[in-house]
Amino acid sequence: MRAVVTRVTSASVSIDNAQVSQIDRGLLVLLGVAAEDETADVDYIASKVKDLRIFADDEGRMNRSVLDIDGAVLVVSQFTLLADTRRGRRPSFVGAAAPEKARAFYETLCDRLRAAGLPVSTGVFQADMQVSSINDGPVTIVLDSREAR
């Protein structure tokens, strides 16, 4: 499972020019689910997202998590994070999970973040979305659950 986590002052998702979700200060999480992912991968990403200390404390150091600042999380499914570009010019997505599995893991991640006390907004699974964000910093972290194996 891969996640691109960006610290934002605001982020939103629109479909056909209609906004479907929005957050203020917090994290925008683009999530890709791999075919071989298991529940432990969801646990790893959920733990990292809620506990990453990438918000400034009173001394300006990145020492606070999204929980600490009472921030929100916007999670957007993005299978293209699993692109394999090693050969040719057209990416291969054979490593991405089938839609049924990806949706279940995406929803499980959102549920875990909510259970931790975070307000969670989402994109629309498998929709053609326009994602807007105002990056703060910018601070962007790439998480890969395979690194924990």
Which residue type, as a one-letter code, is found at position 128? D
- Our answer to whether residue 85 is catalytic in this structure is no
Six token digits for residue 36: 């071989």
Catalytic residue among 78, 105, 108, 125: 78
- Our answer to whether residue 126 is catalytic in this structure is no
What is the β-pairing status of strands 120-122 and 72-77? Answer: parallel
Catalytic residue among 6, 55, 79, 105: 79
- Our answer to whether residue 79 is catalytic in this structure is yes
Catalytic residue among 9, 19, 80, 126: 80
Task: Count other Cβ atoms within 10 Å, centred on residue 128.
Answer: 7
| Residues carrying an active site annotation | 78-80
